[in-house]
Structures are given as C-alpha cells and as structure tokens.
Amino acid sequence: MRLRLLALLVVGPAIAAGCAQDVQPSHDAPSRKMIVLGVDGMDPELLRDYMKQGDMPNAQRLMAYGGFRVLGTSEPPQSPVAWSNFITGLDPGGHGMFDFLALDRNNLLPYLTTSAVVPAEIGPLEIGDWRIPIEGDRVTLLRKGTAFWELLAAADVDVTIVRMPANYPPVPGSGDSLSGMGTPDLRGTSGTFMFFSSDPGFISRDVSGGELRKFGIEGDRLLAAVGGPPNSLRADAPRTSVVLEVIPDPVHDVALIRGGTRERLVKAGEWTDWIGVEFTMVPALAKVAGMVRIHVKSVHPFLEMYVSPVNIDPRSPAQEISAPADYAPMLAGQVGPFYTEEMPEDSKALSAHILSAEEYLDQSGVVLDESRRLLDFELQKFVAKADPAFLFFYFSTIDQRHHMMGRHIDPEHPFFAVNSPPRVRASMTETYRQIDQVLGKILDRVGPQAAVVVMSDHGFARFYRQAHLNAWLKEAGYLVLRDDAAPVSAESEGWLSGIDWSRTRAFSIGLNSLYINVAGRERHGIVPSAERLDLAREIADRLRTWTDAKNGLPVVTSPSLREEIYRGPMLAAAPDIIVGYGDGYRASWATSKGQTAGKLLEDNLDEWSADHCLDPDAAPGVLFSNLAMTSPAPQLTDLTVGILDYFGVRPVQGMRGVTPFAPMEVQRHVQ
C-alpha cells in the first residue's frame, strides 16, 4: 500500500514534466481569479492510467502548465470529513466531523454529522389537531471552523460556491452558495426512492433507501401514492402524499402519467423530465413544492415504475438550500430545475436491484448533464467578472459511479459481473473522459487569465471483504452480547443492538469509528476515564495483528488513536480509535449500524463494490493545476491555505496547512 503511494508520488510529477515541453508563458503577472473543480473520488492511479491511454488530454494540458501531485486525504478518508478539512483548513479535532455518523453518548443513538434540526424555542399554538407555529424550527450546520471562502469574501473577493459538500445549510453572507452533500430530500431523508408494480404477486416492503409498493387500482387507472414530508402542522405529524395516476396503453408499451404540473406520455424504458408535485399542509392555504423524475421500466405484462426521491424544488425551495435564498431560484430560472438532494445518483435503487447497472448510468448521466449546464452558466458569469474572483464547482459522478461499478471493472472482485454490457464495463473510462471534457471547456473559456485547480477529496480502493469489527471486539473479549441477543442478518434493524453494556468495554458504530465505553461519558460506561487511553492503545495494537485467514492479508493497517492524529477544541468528541482498513477491506454494513455479526469477515457481494473508507494511504486524492507547485506531498489543508495565499489572504489561527504552490511572483498562467 505504501509502495503504491510512493510510486504515485514519484510518477505524478514525471507525468506533468513529460507534458511540459514547448510551453511558453503568456505573462509574468497572473490575475487574481481562480476556479477550483472539486471532483469527488478522482483517483491518482486511474488518472495516471487514463492519461497514458490518451483519454485525459485536457488534464495533461493543465498539468503541463503547472503541476500534478497526489493529494493526501483526511483520516478517515470519508467525504464529509475530507471536505471539512478542505473547507476549514482544520483536521477533525478542529471542525468536529469524524464520520458519516456521530454518536450521541447520552442515548447511544447515531446522528448525521453535518447538520441538525434545532427546535423552536417557543412552541406552537395548539388549536384542536392543528399546531400553528409561532416560530419555526431551524436547521444548523454542525461543522466548526471558518470556511475559507468566508475569509475570501471578507477580503472583497467575489465568491461563488456550487454544491460544496458538508455545507448545508450554506454559509450565509459570503457570496453565492448552493448546498451539496448533506442536503436532505423533501421528506427529510438522505434520499428515499419509491417503486410501484401492478404485479398481483408483488409484495410491498421497505428496503434500504427506498419503498416498494403495489399500485392502487381504480378501473383502468393505476394509482401511485408518492410520499412527501410529514405535516408538522398536525398533532400526529402524518406524512403527506401526492397521488399520480398512471394509465397503461392496453396494446403498446406506453403509459400516460397524470399528476403534478402536466400530463406525460412515457414509453417503457424512458425517463421523464422533472415533474413538479405539491404536498398539502393546510387545504386551500398551504402547500410545499417538490419534484420527482420517473422511469417507466415496463408496461406489459405488468407496469413497473421508479420514482426518484422527492427533491426540494429549487424554483420554490421549501428549505434553505442556497445563500442568499434567491440564488437557487435564479439558477433554476436560468438552466431549469436540477437535483438538490445530497447525493443525487441513486445508488440505493441499484443496490436494491430496482435499477439495472445501465439504468443507473442513465440516471447518473442526467445528474452529470445538469451539473454541466450549471457550470456553463457560472463560467459565463465568472469570465465577465473583474478581479478578484473565485469559483468552486463540485462533481459527484466519478465517486458514485466508482462505488457502484467496482464489480463490473475488476475481474478480481468476488462479485465480478462476468457478463456486464460493454457500456457498463467501460463506464469508468467514459466517466473520466467526460470530466476531462468539462475541464477542457473551462480551459477554453477562461483562457490564460485565471488559475485553474482540479482536486479530489480522496481516491478509491478495492472493497472485496466486509470486516465485522464488533465481531472482532467480541472475540477479543472487549464486547459482550446479551444472552437474548438476536442473530444479525441483512434485514436486521436497530442501532448497537444486543450489547450487554454492563460488560462491554469497547464497541464500533459508523464506518471507521471505535469507542471506549467510558464511565461518566457513555450512557452505560464502565471503563474508568483514567484507563481509557491505555485500553485504546491495547486495542489498536491488537487490531494491527488481525489478518484474514482466507489470504493472510492484514485487515486493519492504520488504527490511530485520536490523540495521535487530531488537535483542536473538538478532540474530546472524537471516537477513541480511527480504524483504517487495509486495501480490499472495509467496515461491514452491520458494523456501520453497530451490530455484531456471527463472523469476522465475509465477501462483499453488494452492488456497492468499491470504496475509500479505509487506511488514508490507500486512497489519496489528486491535485493538479496550471500553478507551479513546490510541495512534494500536499494535504487537503495545504490546498486551503494555498487558495487563501493566492488572493493574499492570511489563514486564521489553527489552520494546519502550508501553501503547495510556488510564490505568486514566479507563477504563470498558460492554457
């Protein structure tokens, strides 16, 4: 693993140097305009391979004018953690993002790390079943620290931030900002799709991230009740819904969909555009706007229909998704409606086998097309702006496709898809090409007058085997189950289920987090506080000896004590050990929920077949730019400081980085 990282550090600069022949500087005094393209999950090894194949000419073009580096990621290399490192220039001890899930130590329940709902201080006025709010609940961003663009805006830099992850609700008062990862769907979830079938034998049930339902039937009409947000104006907060009518043609593979903003005639295999839907809160008085996309999978012999999660409609946002509030409606007015939920590629529907791999690529392609239209609009604005100006734009496509296409592109994967269609087998190559085309458009539009930086929060690694960390803790004697604990299965629900807290000293929940059950800290803690650190060291040392009996490979290669890797005011909130898995391994889905399986390891037979939540040395990101670079091994926090330095803005106290770029007086911008 570390040899692979060293090879990338050596080969990366050589690639850029090999492309730099016959490049002449356009001028010696670059302007103060910068575009940062945030490409989630772009991997240095894949990037190198695709450049060698000639698939990334614009990436090579950019590197030739500046440089390329492997970019060190966060620990753990999870997206909300890594992007928070970049946003604040702090490590998790400063910004407080440690995992996708955080643990409330009082009730031992998890919560999403990036934002939380703060109830209104003044309760509602109660009139019968109605609850009339005097003041509303509010959503607050949990990430600590100062976003770098707040410092830029304070220095009079014209700032635009499009879909920055871990920025919901968006930071106000610092230019234009559209929220990204962390933004819920209209129901308040991280994305819940629906699937309807007219098959009489179909069984309605819930799956992870979705609801499978039978159509209602009225004569020749099929009725699909699409669930909306809970009605908080009623005492029992019932969930609202909108009924779509679907009339299948008795002969042809086509169906008429009625409901929302207009009728649509849809052929089997087609996707609709955005359908506006409104959910009634108070009849004739109050409605909430959302929107869905529909895919008619089949019409005969049974009608099957996928309905996307209900997205917040950016034309009339029901929640705060942009700053200022009118920025999202303005964008929608210019380019049309677009996905607003946090991770719009519906990987959950593919994992549930509701969408096929090709259908997933189609849906992911819609997301990418929308992003490209948004970028085209922002590029027009950016080119017309005077100095100084900064634009950040985020793309999720590489990350989400790599997660789901891993088993289709890797013959060594235990769930390798032998008969994948050629389009699916070539999907990652094509995705990198598409991002390279985006980069080419940026270079052509901005010319030599701006710095262009491409970065990723992390790369990717193999995910062949699921590691049941709580099972390992049980076998090692640190976790004890109750005698009546139910066996864990794929359908198991509940968080931290079956644990005997009176005898448990350590447990895991989340993807990389291990907690000591400390007395006075955890709800049922038994480990004296004075013994916490010694126990954490003991467990970390033993984790390094965990090997896979199937192949002899190490399961955990980087178990880090929080005191060794973090600093800052949030250190005490961190998990006690950050577990970095070896390449090919990742925490099991059961572990992420805190469950204890009956085995230590098992093959990953899920559609989610590649990952990056492991040892950070196994999944570094990329950094390349038309700016010359001096740092041989930059980190995400270095890039934060480098952006500030480019505009002559001093970092705030606590930022850990050092600019990776050469001094501005020797920089040159050439496209």
**Residue 124 pLDDT exceeds 60:** yes
pLDDT value, residue 494: 84
Reply yes or no: is the peptide bond before residue 76 cis, omega within 30 of 0: yes
**Residue holding tokens 């200022």?**
324
Helix (H) or strand (E) holding 373: helix 357-384
What are the beta bridge partners of residue 322? 178
Cβ atoms of 628 and 667 closer than 8 Å: yes
Which tens digits make up the pLDDT trace of 402-435?
999 999 999 999 999 999 999 999 999 999 999 9
Cβ atoms of 512 and 579 closer than 8 Å: yes
Rg (C-alpha) for the chain, rounded Å, is 25
**Residue holding tokens 């590649």?**
610
Residue 590: which of 478, 466, 476 has the closest Cα?
Answer: 466
pLDDT value, residue 595: 95
Residue 425: other Cβ atoms inside 10 A: 15
**Residue 17 pLDDT exceeds 70:** no
pLDDT grade for 260, boundaries at 50, 70 and 90: confident
In angstroms, what CA-CA distances link 151 with 144, 147, 311, 391?
15, 7, 31, 14
pLDDT value, residue 666: 64
**Residue 230 pLDDT exceeds 50:** yes
**Residue 220 pLDDT exceeds 60:** yes
Helices and strands of the chain, counted as H and E runs = 17, 35
pLDDT value, residue 476: 98
Give the amino acid at 595.
Answer: Q
Task: Give dist(CA 522, CA 526) in Å, integer.
Answer: 8
What are the beta bridge partners of residue 72? 635
Start-to-end C-alpha separation, the chain: 35
Q: SS3 letters for 619-644?
A: CCEEEEECCCECCCCCEHHHHHHHHH
DSSP-based helix, strand, coil % in the chain, nearest 5:
30, 25, 45
Residue 161: other Cβ atoms inside 10 A: 30
pLDDT grade for 206, boundaries at 50, 70 and 90: very high
pLDDT value, residue 31: 66
Task: Give dist(CA 225, CA 194) in Å, integer.
Answer: 9
Give the amino acid at 649.
Answer: V
In angstroms, what CA-CA distances link 5 with 91, 437, 585, 611?
21, 27, 17, 17
**Residue 156 pLDDT exceeds 50:** yes
Share of the chain above pLDDT 70, in %: 94
Burial of 330 (0-12, 13-18, 19+ CB in 10 A): middle
pLDDT value, residue 284: 67
Residue 569: which of 511, 658, 653 has the closest Cα?
Answer: 653
According to DSSP, the β-strands at 130-132 and 294-298 are unpaired
pLDDT value, residue 21: 31
Task: Give dist(CA 15, CA 67) in Å, integer.
Answer: 9
pLDDT value, residue 670: 44
Task: Give dist(CA 638, CA 647) in Å, integer.
Answer: 15
Share of the chain above pLDDT 90, in %: 82
Cβ atoms of 529 and 521 closer than 8 Å: yes
**Residue holding tokens 């734009």?**
393
**Residue 13 pLDDT exceeds 90:** no
Give Cβ neighbours of residue 535 (< 8 Å, ≥ 6 apart).
505, 506, 516, 527
Task: Give dist(CA 333, CA 340) in Å, integer.
Answer: 14
The DSSP symbol for 218 reads E
According to DSSP, the β-strands at 176-179 and 322-323 are antiparallel
Task: Give dist(CA 652, CA 90) in Å, integer.
Answer: 10
Helix (H) or strand (E) holding 298: strand 294-298
Residue 547: which of 515, 584, 509 has the closest Cα?
Answer: 584
Sign of CA dihedral 596, 597, 603, 604: negative
pLDDT value, residue 137: 77
According to DSSP, the β-strands at 205-207 and 210-214 are antiparallel
**Residue holding tokens 């929920």?**
593
pLDDT value, residue 113: 82
Cβ atoms of 467 and 555 closer than 8 Å: yes
Which of these ranges, 80-89, 154-163, 278-287, has the smallest mean pLDDT?
A: 278-287
**Residue holding tokens 């086998």?**
353
pLDDT grade for 490, boundaries at 50, 70 and 90: low
**Residue 10 pLDDT exceeds 70:** no
pLDDT value, residue 235: 81
**Residue 292 pLDDT exceeds 80:** yes
pLDDT value, residue 217: 94
**Residue 7 pLDDT exceeds 80:** no
Residue 468: which of 561, 351, 586 has the closest Cα?
Answer: 586
pLDDT grade for 39, boundaries at 50, 70 and 90: very high
What is the chain's length? 671
**Three-state DSSP state, 153:** helix
Task: Give dist(CA 15, CA 103) in Å, integer.
Answer: 43
In angstroms, what CA-CA distances link 166 with 245, 385, 523, 551?
37, 27, 28, 38
Task: Give dist(CA 242, CA 189) in Å, integer.
Answer: 18
pLDDT value, residue 668: 57
Token digits of residue 448: 């030599």
* Model-wide pTM > 0.85: yes
Give the amino acid at 412.
Answer: E
Strand locations in 210-258, DSSP E? 210-214, 216-218, 221-230, 239-248, 254-258
Residue 518: which of 29, 108, 55 has the closest Cα?
Answer: 108
**Residue 12 pLDDT exceeds 60:** no
**Average pLDDT of span 368-389:** 97
Token digits of residue 70: 């492997």
Which of these ranges, 88-102, 111-125, 294-308, has the smallest mean pLDDT?
A: 111-125
